[in-house]
Structure 1
Amino acid sequence: MRKILSYLLLGALLVVGLVGCGQQTAAGGGDVKLTLVAYSTPKEAYDEIIPAFQKTEAGKGVTFSTSYGASGAQSRAVASGLQADVVAFSLAPDIDRLVKAGIVSQDWHKDQYKGMVTDSVVVLAVRPGNPKHIKGWDDLIKPGIEVVTPNPFTSGGARWNIMAAYGSQIKAGKSEQEAEQYLKQLFDHVQVQDNSGRESLQTFLNGKDDVAITYENEAINAKQKGEKLDYVVPDQTILIENPVAVTKTTKHPDKAKAFVDFLRSEEAQKIFGQKGYRPVVKSVLSQFDYPTPSGLFTIDDLGGWDTVTQKFFDPEKGVVAEIEKAKGVSVESK
């Protein structure tokens, strides 16, 4: 009961935050208002995509409210009552939570894109010129190297980061036990765990530590803004797949679906591509020069999210939960 009340409080606080600072409304008094609840990193892309949609026939008269934050926290807030017409999160389990809550349809991923709207890969952000000579994952556990990555119990990006690190060891021929031991060594070098991927990268940009494990799109976005950093795409890294879905609770299902359909249009996918995301529409992806790491793998190669979540992120007995507890880090979802 205490946990349920805390979730309800979180939802209420996020609603207040939505009204106070996370709101984006189009000019003009449209009859339809959609609320997009999303994870933090694609804000700049949606800031351009929403006005583009409003210029289409389907988007005429549609206004938007937007809320951005750590993926897991956003998902839990919607599950606890935060209104949403469209949800766009960092990873599939945050959508699946809403399926279990009866807010998103079970068949949300039954389309040609498997429910995804963008892709990315996990990269290693470094200081300009790469003074620590970071080339891959093994360099992160060398003496003196300090690493930034978000808290995996609030951030979807953190879970991608951890599975990229773990999977890199499997790809290199290590056993599961050796890969788990690598995670323990890696977390000995992690000094700061922020709530979201965006906050984590900002901590790095503020001068903290030597390396930030982050999304490729976040590194590209930072460089586009003139921030001083470089990044390394490891040979072994994971394909990040970002989902989107219309909620069953929306009062405007046709318009919400039209918006999600627009997100897969060439126009919107180009905007995503320009912001550092890898388009899921292959004809648009081919227009960009994103590198293909030689050892690229997917979450399915590691057993899929159901298996991974139970093995690594179960707060009672998960591999990562045990590592965090040993470090004195809370594994309570926020």
Structure 2
Amino acid sequence: MSIKTKAVLAGALVGAVGLTGCATASAGGSSSGSKSISVVGFSVMKTANTKVIADFKKTSAGKGVTFKQSYGASGDQARAVVSGLKADEAHLSLEPDVAKLVDAGKVASDWKSGANAGPDNGILTQSVVVIVVRKGNPLGIKTWDDLTKKGVKIVTPNPGSSGSAKWNILAAYGHVLANGGSEADAQTYLTSFLKNVVALPGSGKDATTAFEGGTGDVLLSYENEAIEARQAGADVDYIVPPQTLLIQNPGVLTKTASSSAKAFLKFQQSTKGQTDYAEQGFRPLEDSIKVTVKGANDPSDPFPAPQTLMTIDKDFGGWTSANTKYFDETDGIVTKALEASGKS
């Protein structure tokens, strides 16, 4: 079941770089007529964009276009663009990372409503937070509460660099509120949760790599990342918990984006582009898109509706509020809990 929402969204230069063709634009950005597109994305988009780019190149607008691609932790990627990493398109994990680009004058302030925003207010991909476990689920993990049991070892990215980490932690924290608990109850849960965290890798992709390499019993991840891992042969299972959080990833153009980059973003927003993403495990933005997804728990019904689907806007007051409340570098609830756990 796909999810359609119109809600407003809620320094290392690169983590990994892949090149297709060559870039010819100046350091300040691509000229409007350039046939080269520089894409800067959060880590889990590296594999997902392969098919999307290949299909775009088959279109009239994509013929002869070359791509320069950079992928890494979303927060690091945003800081890299601010520091001068060339980008026509920035496809990041969450709104606060785009806000960094707006504040730096790299992206227009009307990115949610302007000509390039598309039909979903600047959202380009979406997913939900899931719990990834070893094949056969040997610990019998079913809900968020199981993660605080003695001996359960959790892997989740570091919220200091990774956007996916923020989605993950808010999903875990928010399930307490969704079940009628208070903020104090949720903070108590967070303390117990963090005691069981054994690794805080720099990005969502790094966290998956660590888990596949044998670290931990449980990985918190995007649903699409779990599906992609299974498509690639990883010996894991995943659970969509009864209460989880809708993940929405913005895709924006910089002020110097080339005309080819504008065409590419339109393709990504199109039914074909969204179908490509859906086949790789992202929940489509169009309700009409129905796909069979290899690697999903049920390939014929790959996107089941959770019992309670939380959103940043409805349950956390939007990203502007949530980022300060939970992740402020000094006073954030999660920041303080991480420091108290000795794992900041």
TM-score (norm 2): 0.87
The runs of 5 or more residues in structure 1 that have no matched partner are 1-6
Task: Name 1:71's counterpart in structure 2.
Answer: 74
2:143 pairs with one of 136, 145, 157: 136
1:329 Cα offset (Å): 3.5
1:272 pairs with one of 270, 277, 296: 277
Equivalent-residue separation in structure 1 for 2:225 and 2:109 (angstroms)? 30
On the 8 A contact 2:36/2:260 being kept in 1, the answer is: no
The runs of 5 or more residues in structure 2 that have no matched partner are 1-10, 23-32, 293-299
The answer to whether residue 263 in structure 2 is matched with residue 258 in structure 1 is yes
**CA separation of 1:31/1:101 partners in 2, compared to 1, >3 Å: closer, same or farther?**
closer
1:305 pairs with one of 319, 328, 342: 319
2:85 pairs with one of 74, 82, 86: 82
1:264 Cα offset (Å): 1.4
1:195 Cα offset (Å): 0.1
Task: Name 1:200's counterpart in structure 2.
Answer: 207
- Between 1:68-77 and 1:315-324, the stretch displaced more is 315-324
Write out aligned runs for 1:48-67 (5 A): 48-67=51-70
**CA separation of 1:186/1:225 partners in 2, compared to 1, >3 Å: closer, same or farther?**
same
Task: Name 1:3's counterpart in structure 2.
Answer: none
Which structure has more relative contact order (CA 8 Å, sep 6+)? It is 2
Equivalent-residue separation in structure 2 for 1:39 and 1:32 (angstroms)? 23
On the 8 A contact 2:131/2:220 being kept in 1, the answer is: yes
Write out aligned runs for 1:168-183 (5 A): 168-183=175-190
Task: Name 1:296's counterpart in structure 2.
Answer: 309
Write out aligned runs for 1:225-244 (5 A): 225-244=232-251
On the 8 A contact 1:150/1:158 being kept in 2, the answer is: yes
Task: Name 2:95's counterpart in structure 1.
Answer: 92
Residue 278 of structure 1: SS of its match in structure 2? coil
1:31 Cα offset (Å): 5.2
2:19 pairs with one of 10, 20, 23: 23
Equivalent-residue separation in structure 1 for 2:234 and 2:244 (angstroms)? 24
Bigger fraction of residues in helix: 1
On the 8 A contact 1:71/1:89 being kept in 2, the answer is: yes
Equivalent-residue separation in structure 2 for 1:54 and 1:160 (angstroms)? 32
Identity %: 46
On the 8 A contact 1:151/1:194 being kept in 2, the answer is: yes
Equivalent-residue separation in structure 1 for 2:180 and 2:240 (angstroms)? 19
On the 8 A contact 2:275/2:291 being kept in 1, the answer is: no
Moved over 4 A (4+): 285-288
Residue 244 of structure 2: SS of its match in structure 1? coil
1:286 Cα offset (Å): 7.3
Task: Name 2:109's counterpart in structure 1.
Answer: 106
Q: Deviations over 1:207-253 (max 9, x none)?
A: 11111111100110111111100011001000000110010133x1x
Residue 52 of structure 1: SS of its match in structure 2? helix
Equivalent-residue separation in structure 2 for 1:159 and 1:45 (angstroms)? 21
On the 8 A contact 1:278/1:285 being kept in 2, the answer is: no
Residue 309 of structure 2: SS of its match in structure 1? coil
Note the aligned Cα RMSD (angstroms): 1.8
1:247 pairs with one of 245, 254, 259: 254
On the 8 A contact 2:46/2:71 being kept in 1, the answer is: yes
